[in-house]
Amino acid sequence: MKKVIVHPERCVGCMQCMAACAAAHSRSKSVHGAVLEFPIPKPRIHVGSGIYGEGFPNRCRHCDPAPCMLACLPGAIYRDDSMETVLIDPFRCINCASCAMACPFGVIRYHEDRAAPPGKCIAVKCDNCLERQLQGLIPACAEVCKSGALRFEEPAADLKDKTDEIARRISLGAVEGDFAHAPALALLNAFKRAQREVNERRP
Amino acid sequence: MRYVVIGNGIAGVHALETIRKLDPNGSITLVAGETFPPYCRPMISLVLDGSLTEEDLPVRGPDFYEALGVEAFVGEHVVDLDAERRVLTTDRNRNILFDRLLIASGANPRRIKAQGLELGRIFFMRNQMHVRDMIASLDGVEEALVLGGGLVGFKAAYSLMKRGVRVTMLIRSGYPLSMQVDAHAGSMILDELVKNGLTVRVGAEVIAFEGNGFVRAAHLEDGSTISCGMVVIGKGVRPATSFLRTQQIAVDLGVLVDERLQTSVPGIFAAGDVAEHYDVARKSRWVNAIWPVAVEQGRVAGMNMAGRDVSYKGSLSRNVIRIFDLDVLTGGLVNPPDDSYLVLTRMDPRRRTYRKLVFRDGRLVGLVMVNEIEQGGVLLSLIHGGHTLPIEGEAVLEPSFNVARLFPHQRGFLQARRTGK
| CB-closest option in A52, A105, A183 to B419 | A183
pTM of the model: 0.91
CA of A136 vs chain B CAs: smallest distance (Å) = 32
Which of A101, A108, A162, A187 best probes binding to B when mutated, by most B CB atoms within 10 angstroms? A101
Q: What does the DSSP 8-state code read for residue A125?
A: -
Q: Is the domain of A74 the same as that of A25?
A: no
B289: closest CA of chain A, how far (Å): 14
A21 plus A37 within the same structural domain: yes
Q: Which residue of B has its CA nearest to A185?
A: B412
A148 with A49, same domain: the answer is: yes
User: Cα–Cα distance between B328 and B320 in angstroms, integer?
Assistant: 6
Binary contact (A94, B43; C-beta < 8 A) = yes
Name the closest residue on chain A to residue B415, using Cα atoms.
A180
B405 contacts on A by Cβ (under 8 Å): 48, 50-51
Tell me if chain A has a CB within 8 Å of the CB of B376: yes
Q: Please, are residues A6 and B407 in contact by the beta-carbon 8 Å criterion? A: no
ipTM: 0.90
Give per-residue pLDDT as tens, A131-187: 999 999 999 999 999 999 999 999 999 999 888 878 877 777 766 555 556 778 878
Given this model, what pLDDT does residue A203 score? 73
CA distance A139 to A102: 25
Res B419: pLDDT: 46
Q: Is the Cβ–Cβ distance between B39 and B57 less than 8 Å?
A: yes
Q: Can you list the positions of beta strands (E) in B125-236?
A: 143-147, 166-171, 199-202, 206-212, 214-220, 225-227, 230-233
Using CA coordinates, name the residue in chain B closest to A51.
B405
The pLDDT of residue A202: 79
How far apart (Å, rounded) are the C-alpha atoms in residues A122 and A120? 6
Instruction: Indicate whether A161 and A138 sit together in one domain.
Output: no
Please check whether residue A149 is in contact with residue B375, taking contact to mean a CB–CB distance below 8 angstroms.
Answer: no
Residues B256 and A30: beta-carbon distance below 8 Å: no
**How many domains are there within chain A?**
3
Domain architecture of chain B: domains with CATH: 2-109+237-306 (3.50.50.60), 122-233 (3.50.50.60), 318-413 (3.30.390.30)
Q: Which structural domain, as residue segments, surrounds residue A92?
A: 60-124
The torsion angle over the Cα atoms of residues B167, B170, B171 and B175, rounded to 10 degrees, is 40
Tell me whether residues A102 and B377 touch, CB distance under 8 A. yes
Return the top range by mean pLDDT from A166-170, B288-292, B321-325.
Answer: B288-292
pLDDT mean across residues, chain B: 93
- pLDDT band of B138, cuts 50, 70, 90: very high
Closest Cα in chain A to B58: A74
Contact between chains at B327 and A97 (C-beta distance less than 8 A): yes
Residues A73 and A170 in one domain: no
Same domain, A111 and A27: no
DSSP A28: S
The yes-or-no verdict on residue B413 having pLDDT over 50 is no
**Does B304 score more than 90 pLDDT?**
yes
CB B360: neighbour CB atoms within 10 A?
Answer: 17
Cβ(B109)–Cβ(B131) below 8 Å: no
Strands B326-332 and B318-323: antiparallel
Helix B411-419 and helix A183-201: axis angle, to 10°?
A: 90
Nearest CA-CA distance, residue B246 and chain A, Å = 33
Q: Work out the pLDDT band at B416, boundaries 50, 70, 90.
A: very low
Nearest to B419 among A9, A106, A180 (CB): A180
Nearest partner of B412 among A195, A17, A176, A183, judged by Cα: A183
